[in-house]
Chains A and B, each alone.
Chain A
Amino acid sequence: MESVGSIILYIVVALAMVVFSVLAVTTRKILRAATYLLFTLFAAACVYFMLDYEFLGAVQIAVYAGGIVVLFVFSILLTSRPGHNSERLSSKSRVLGSVAALAMLLISGYALVSRCALYAAKPALDTPTMQQVGQSMMSTGHGGYLLPFEAVSVLLLACIIGGVVIARKR
Chain B
Amino acid sequence: MLLVPAMIMFCCGVYGFITRRNMIAILISLELMLNAVDINFAVFNRYLWPEATEGMFFTLFAIAIAAAETALAIAIIINLYRSAKNIDVRDLNKLKY
Contact = CB atoms under 8 A, between A and B. Distances in A.
In-complex A–B contact (CB below 8 Å): yes
Interface of A: 10, 13-14, 17-18, 21-22, 24-25, 30, 33-34, 37, 40-41, 44, 47-48, 50-53, 55-56, 59-60, 63-64, 67-68, 71-72, 75-76, 78-79, 87-89, 93-94, 96-98, 100-102, 104-105, 108-109, 112, 116, 118-120, 122-123, 125, 128, 132-133, 136-137, 143, 145, 148, 152, 155-156, 159-160, 162-163, 166-167
A160 to B, nearest CB: 8
A79 B78 contact: yes
A87 B52 CA distance: 46
A104 B59 contact: no
A123 B50 contact: yes
Given A14-B5, A52-B46, A87-B22, A64 B13 contact: no
Contacts of A48: 39, 42, 59
Interface of B: 1-22, 24-25, 27-29, 31-32, 35, 38-39, 42-43, 45-48, 50, 52-54, 56-57, 59-61, 63-72, 74-79, 81, 87-88
Contacts of B74: 71-72, 75
B39 A101 contact: no
Contacts of A13: 2, 5
Contact of A25 (B20, B65, B68): B20
A52 B4 CA distance: 19
A155 B67 CA distance: 11
Given A37-B32, A51-B46, A123-B50, A97 B5 contact: no
Contacts of A122: 46-47
A118 B20 contact: no
Nearest to A105: B11
Contacts of A60: 38, 63
Given A37-B31, A125-B50, A100 B14 contact: yes
